[in-house]
Amino acid sequence: MKLLIQHNHYKDEISGVLTYISSIQSELNLRGIETKVISTTENSWSQWVSSIAWADLIHMNSNHLAFACLCKILNKKIVIKYHYLFYASIHSTYQPMSLFQRLRTEFVDSLPKPNYPLKWKLHTIVKLAKLATRFLTALIVDRHTACSQFLADSHSFPWKVTTLYNPIQVQDHGFQETVDDLSKPDSFVYVGRLNPDKGVDLLLRATKLLQTQNRDFRVLIIGDGGEAKALQVLATELDISNRVEFLGNCSQSKILSIVRSALALVAPSRWQEPAGYVVLEASSVSTCSIVANVGGLPEMAGSHTFLFEQENVEELAAAMKFCLDHPEETIERGKGANQYVSERFSPAQTVDHLLKIYQEISPNFNGQNEGME
């Protein structure tokens, strides 16, 4: 059985989609299923055609209408996986709606204000055209999956969207961490892009609240982005520069080492993040997370996490204080998070689920997947 896996990224790009593909490709190959990966950004049309003709089945990871049409012309079955929000109108706020309500809201939100310049009015046409392209692609494919239950529900489609989690290899299963294994002073770590959507400024403001209580701790910021300098200025203005360290981009091994020795990871996102992979990474090394109650973050973190409401600095500071006051319980929560991801997010489980979907849509499917339940 030959499976073609499509995405729209560059090969050296840092992307959760590429991490997902790498994880399932290794597992698929172990089961004797031939795989080929193609980028609709980097590869040519002729390579698209030859790769689609080679494959028995297609796994798409972006809403690419032209690629989906080619697959159908060549009579190939497609399973698509959604990794990003389908509608721009739910970027910051999400409420369950019917498909009609969702499309109407998306259309209204796309309309320009009367005083907008012409170029922004024309941009409305572009946004609606992109939505139409995404929706037409959705109509063409055979089965729909999403990287979290939140993302699946947010599509509001009248047909089923199956949850297909992004897998992660557990690093510390069975490791018995103690307070002595943590870095000193106790540290909270953020990993990700530095932009307004990620809410790092909220973490800095929570740090200020804790500092006024004379707590001994530090905050490590890993990552880079357009807001980096503004955040450093904010740390200075808040008089917390002695507690906050901006580490920039780090290697994956260094990131895991820092997260493993931290008291907790903080994911303070403002936007409806579909599936924060960094939370899974923290759980994989038995570090618990403090996450905003938005999008798929609570789903990724599980019941052992600390939740705070969107943009609520006081609740975030309270969760951080609890961790400082109860390090043993915080460590136990990290162990529970590790067990949670090992039970639900392993590469084997994700591939089992994916192959089961292909069995349902392709009667001739005969991949070597005896490990499936």
- pLDDT tens digits, one per residue of 170-208: 876 555 677 878 889 999 999 999 999 999 999 999 999
Q: Is residue 69 within 8 Å of 51, Cβ to Cβ?
A: no
Average pLDDT over residues 323-337: 95
Residues 243 and 138 in one domain: no
**Cα separation, 155 vs 164, whole angstroms:** 15
Q: Is residue 242 within 8 Å of 157, Cβ to Cβ?
A: no
Q: What pLDDT shows up at residue 362?
A: 86
pTM for the model stands at 0.90
| Domain assignment of residue 201, yes or no | yes
> How many Å is the maximal CA-CA distance in the chain?
67
| Domain assignment of residue 370, yes or no | no
Task: Choose the weakest-confidence range: 78-92, 177-191, 253-267, 280-294.
Answer: 177-191
Residues 143 and 213 in one domain: no
pLDDT in tens, 55-72: 999 999 999 999 999 999
Query: Amino acid identity of 363?
Result: P
**Cα separation, 177 vs 181, whole angstroms:** 6
Q: Write out 322-337 in H/E/C secondary structure.
A: HHHHCHHHHHHHHHHH
Tokens of 167: 């897998």
Domain with 282, as residue range(s), is 179-343
Q: How do strand 289-292 and strand 306-308 relate by DSSP bridges? A: parallel
Q: What pLDDT shows up at residue 174?
A: 56
| Domain assignment of residue 27, yes or no | yes
| Domain assignment of residue 373, yes or no | no
Residues 157 and 186 in one domain: no
Q: Is residue 305 within 8 Å of 290, Cβ to Cβ?
A: yes
Tokens of 316: 């975030």
Instruction: List, in sequence order, every beta strand (DSSP E) within the chain.
Output: 2-7, 34-39, 57-60, 77-82, 143-146, 161-163, 187-191, 218-222, 244-248, 264-267, 289-292, 306-308
| Domain assignment of residue 367, yes or no | no
* Domain harbouring 157, CATH code: 3.40.50.2000
Domain count along the chain: 2
Residues 120 and 219 in one domain: no
Kindly report whether the peptide bond that precedes residue 196 is cis, defined as omega within 30 degrees of 0: no
Q: Is residue 38 within 8 Å of 58, Cβ to Cβ?
A: no
Residues 203 and 304 in one domain: yes
Q: What pLDDT shows up at residue 244?
A: 97
Q: What pLDDT shows up at residue 185?
A: 93
| Domain assignment of residue 128, yes or no | yes
Residues 207 and 355 in one domain: no
Residues 183 and 38 in one domain: no
| Domain assignment of residue 76, yes or no | yes
Q: How do strand 218-222 and strand 187-191 relate by DSSP bridges? A: parallel
User: From edge to edge, which strands make up the β-sheet containing 161-163?
Assistant: 34-39, 2-7, 57-60, 77-82, 143-146, 161-163
Q: What pLDDT shows up at residue 120?
A: 73
| Domain assignment of residue 366, yes or no | no
